[in-house]
Amino acid sequence: MAEPPADPVNLADYAALAAAALPDGPLGYYAGGAGDERTLRENVAAWERRRLRPRVLVDVGAVSAATTVLGTPVDLPVLVAPTALQRMAHPDGEPGMARAAARSGTVMTMSTLATSTPAEVAAAAPGAPRWYQLYVTRDRGVSRALLDSAVDAGFTAIAVTVDAAVPGRRERDHRTGFRVPGHLDMPAVTAALGRTAGVTVEDFFSIVDPSLTWRDLERFAADSPVPVLVKGIQTAEDAALACEHGAGGVIVSNHGGRQLDGVAATADLLPEVVEAVAGRLEILVDGGVRRGTDVLAALALGARAVLIGRPALWGLAARGEDGAADVLAMLQREVENGLALLGCRTPAEVTRAHVA
């Protein structure tokens, strides 16, 4: 195996650094997908198939990657996606990721399966925008406790994951015998369950509600004091239902290829979702974004912004907070360079005509 680069220049370099830094179990947990990992691979390949259509002789003397997401100003159309157990990647954990996002002028989305509390993340980056990812549990009191802890800590949106009624079959974890290290806890979950000891990922998924329906989601969104985004939309039909049942936004996502293997890549799903939503809600997309040009393709296809999970995690694993911040800075530079070469001054100027 080649030595990882000492001076990373792109996200692939950070992936190599992370692979060298992490033991097989945690690396497989973060990097792996479900089944044969067809969707995992296709998420990346689908962005690579997109062809951008630049316009020339456009005044691009001043280019900015800044935009807004749900009305929140961000310095680039790239948000940090929720990823679990970040202290397993690096001691900086979720607080370090929050500081990295704040330094980059963007939103961090915190996972329910975090190794920090919402209050700790809020204290790490006071005043920075942050969202909370939530699984709805059989006992709605547990979900409500998690929601309240996030809202009390100043989180301004909730991303409800709807593509994980049961966990996908992630065979890398079976091969490595992966288990969450005993010294790590998921304190928000532990507290919400009223336990004095930590819980495992398997414990938590046993209490996720597999009978959740659109009617339940509508009630949840109506009771939430902050906007509720639906994360895990993969069809036009469900995108339309999200609009009709109180969603504050939709996230086109297949859980990074970790749930149902063989589903379409998110780049391929995005156009039908955009058509079904028809401007009623903001649309975000995650899965396989590895370059600023992927971000531009997503904007051209109708997304407001993208979320990145693994790339930010690779930065964290390799170099802690500074690595995660560097990953975001790399993407900002790539987006700004790509905007200028595409003939656009801002993300708002990128249209469907800019992608084939």
Active site residues: 255
Residue 149: closest CA among 137, 132, 135, 136: 132
| Planar angle of CA 138, 187, 34, nearest 5 degrees | 60
The HSE-up count of residue 246 (CA atoms within 13 Å, CB side) is 19
- The full length of the chain comes to 356
SS3 state of residue 311: helix
Mode of pairing for the β-strands spanning 67-69 and 72-74: antiparallel
Angle at which helix 236-244 crosses helix 266-277, to 10 degrees, equals 40
First-to-last alpha carbon distance for the chain, in angstroms, is 37
Residue 256: closest CA among 179, 310, 176: 310
Cβ count within 10 A of residue 20 = 13
- Burial class (CB within 10 angstroms; exposed 0-12, middle 13-18, buried 19+) of 60: middle
SS3 state of residue 309: coil
Residues facing residue 228 across a β-bridge: 158
